[in-house]
Every structure is written in C-alpha cells, then in structure tokens.
Amino acid sequence: MTLEVIVLAAGKGTRMHSVLPKVLHELADRPLLEHVLDTVRQLRPARIHVVYGYGGEQVRERLADADDVNWVEQAQQLGTGHAVRQALPDLSSDALTLVAYGDVPLIRADTLRAVLGQCSGQGPALLTAELKDPTGYGRILRDHTGAVTAIVEEADASEAERQITEINTGFIACSADGLQVWLDSIDTSNGQGEYYLTDVIGCAVQAGATVCTVRCADPDEIAGVNSQVELAKSERRFQARQAEALMETGLGLRDPARFDLRGDLKFGKDCVFDINVVIAGEVTLGDQVSVGPNCQIIDSEIGNGVEIRANSVIEGVRIADHCSVGPFARLRPGTVLDSGARVGNFVETKNTTLGEDSKANHLAYVGDATVGHRVNIGAGVITCNYDGANKHPTVIGDDAFIGSNSALVAPVTVGKGATVGAGSAVTRDVPEGQLALTRAEQQVRTDWQRPKKEKKN
C-alpha cells in the first residue's frame, strides 16, 4: 500500500492579524508549511497534496520550488472535512492516507511513522495527547473498554466531556477508500456549521471499524500556530531542539537559550559560541572557531582557529585559518580573508580580498579591493570605489602601508612596499617602494590668537 499525504494549509489565520497567509509566517526564517513538508518527505510518500485557500497564489509562489507537491484549492473554507474532500479525487483509491497540518511545524517524522504503523487499513489511526489544559482541543471519547467511539469538538462538548484531558491532535491515517466513504457521511450539524474531519471517527466506529491511537509524549510537537504569541513560542521550542542536537554533536554553546540557527551549520572540533549568536543560510566552520556575543554569520565559510569577536556581522564571506574579526566588524558579500588576516573594530569590507597577515584594525572601509600580503591599512582609510554610477577596483601590493585617514580614489594601484602618508587623497598609482603624500604642508602662525567669548555683564 502506497502512502499519500494531505497537508491542510488553507486557513487565513485571523488571529495572526496579518495580510500574510498563516502558513507563510516564518519559523527560523522558513515558512511554517515548508517545515511540515520537509517532515512528511522523510516518510517517503508517493505523493504530497497541499490544500490551499486564503492567499493561495502567495503560498504557491513562495513554495514554487516544491515540485513534488500537488496543489489542491479549497475555494471556500467550510471546515477540515471539506478541505480533505477537495484532495480525494487526486488520491489513489488503495493509498494509505495521512492528514497533516501546515501550521503545526514541530511534528516529528518518527511520531508520524508510529501513527502509520498503527493503521491496519480497516480503520483509522489517530495521534492523541494528554494535556493538563485541553482547552481548545477536541476530546477523545472512549467506551468502558477503552475503545475510541468518537471525537467531540470543544464547542459541541458537554461539561463532562470537557473534563477529558485526552485530546485529538488532528493527525489521522486511514485508507483512501475508507476516508471517502466516511467523509460522505458527515454533515454540518455542529456548533461551527462546518464539515469536521473529526466526525469521520464516529462514522468509522458506526461502520464497525476499530480506531487505533498513538499517544504523543511531547506536547510541543502538536502545538499549532494561530497567533504571534504561539509563533514566538514555537520559535523558541524549535531553537531549543536545534541547540540540543548541535551540542550533542560537539558544539559549545555558552547559553543554548540565546542561540538561533536559521539555516544549516556544519562545524569541526572545539567550536564555541557565546550568547546571542545567529547563524543563517549555509555556514561551515573549521576546528577551534570562537564566536563572541551578539554576532550574525550568514552563508559563510570559516577556517580553523578563527576568532570572531563581539557584535560582528559576517555575510557571504570566506575566512581562512587563524584570522581575527571584530569586535564591531562588518564583512559583506565577496569578502575573502587569507590566512592570518585581521579585521578590527568598525571596519567594513565588501567584495575584497585581504591577503595573508594583512590587517585593517579599525575605522576603515575597504571595498572592491585586492589587498596583498602583510599590508597595514590604518584607521580612517577608505577605498573610494563608487563614482556615482560605477564601481572601480583598488589594488594594494604586498607589504604596502596605508597611513591613517587616507582616501584611495579608485581605480588606483598602490605598488609593493609603497607607503601612503596619513591624510592623503591618492588619485594616481603609487609605484613600488615609493612614498605618496598629498596633504598640504603644515604651517605654524605665531601671530594668531584663538577667538575669545566676550564676558557677559
């Protein structure tokens, strides 16, 4: 029996107070729906059907790369049973069907496998949970033998039924043909005037089917996202899960509660992160990388023995072994630091290669530049790479020295071993080994007096 998955993702999410469809709100920089799709893919289904509705075009555009998804429109939102019914014509009649939810991003594949394992093909299998506070959830009704007889939604439950603490998570597995028969039997005679998917259970029992259940041990897995508060809670739960997994494989986190992974991180031995580090995109670290507090690293490769000091932002960068960055440095896309290079506080680089053992220790901007080995770039130096229309390159040879507060007006080349005196504006190439000075000669006037304020009476 092949597996097909239906993911319900048609809701507007009124409580989000947003024009964005609920399933497109992001958890760790990725849409909620994308998390769910990644999870159900681990089950290797033959097909995945996503039922979309509110903001449907936005949903499809945002997940345009999901070429394994069959998109099914629910033009009117008439309940979960109605949503599943929209996908039935596309299901194989002999398929084992799992219903999942695009706004429940923390569900684990192993939990869903357990539900599928309980599905006999003759009756449905449910994922349930035991909650201290079951408010808002449908309750599982059982007879004196413990057999499931129905699910009652809270709005339709009696006072006694509301005291039940075993709840329906919404995840259900059953045969496609059985689902078709039972969905044809439900109606809208309930407090919401909707077609409840949960009514399928009562129909199945009446038809003589046995309902199997799997208890979810971790309530975080089945937490839906219906508001900004719930989204924030899910974010923290997700980040805690990721932090624990990384630490289990050797990453040192000074405080795992203050770490965010919003992408993919690969790392070597003895890497340590201080507090409030954010990793986004694809990031690779070598051995013995130290990252200080309040740093952001995006889509970058970092070598062995690198120190990233506090409050630095690194994006689209390649850093070789034994480099030092920060504090308060910003390395923008296209930056390459060769072995032993140093970029200090309040230095910004972009589309620049800084050669071996070269350094820009403070208060500099180096853009569209190729910097050789053992170059010193002083405080206040800028490469003037943009003329208002086009970018131009700066080339600095090995062992050059660029004095403080100098401007290198590109396109320009500073030769090997050349020196640019402090305060110079260099507009022409500087030959190898030569000194370039453009500042005015200093004058001292002995007859000058500083203006004084007149004393007020």
* 298 backbone dihedrals φ, ψ, rounded to 5°: -130, 130
Are 379 and 390 in contact, with CB atoms under 8 Å apart? no
Query: Which of 82, 362, 373, 392 is the catalytic position?
Result: 362
Are 63 and 69 in contact, with CB atoms under 8 Å apart? yes
**What DSSP letter does each residue of 404-440 carry, written as one string?**
TT-EEESSEEE-TT-EE-TT-EE-S-B-TT-EE--SP
Q: Nearest CA to 366 among 401, 395, 400, 323?
A: 395
Tell me if residue 82 is catalytic: no
Long-range pairs, 15-21, Cβ under 8 A, ≥24: 15/226, 15/227, 16/226, 16/227, 16/228, 16/231, 17/228, 19/55, 20/55, 20/58, 21/54, 21/55, 21/56, 21/58, 21/59
**Share of the chain residues as helix, strand and coil, in percent rounded to the nearest 5:** 20, 30, 45
Count how many residues are written for the chain: 457
Beta-ladder partners of 265: 283
Beta-ladder partners of 284: 266, 301
Q: 178-195: buried (b, 16+ CB within 10 Å) or exposed (e) per residue?
A: bbbebbeebeeebeeebb
In whole angstroms, what is the distance from residue 306 CA to residue 325 CA?
Answer: 8
Let me know if 369 is exposed, middle or buried by CB neighbors in 10 A (0-12, 13-18, 19+). Answer: buried
Q: Nearest CA to 149 among 163, 161, 131, 134?
A: 161
* 87 backbone dihedrals φ, ψ, rounded to 5°: -90, -15
- For residue 419, give the amino acid letter: T
Catalytic positions? 362
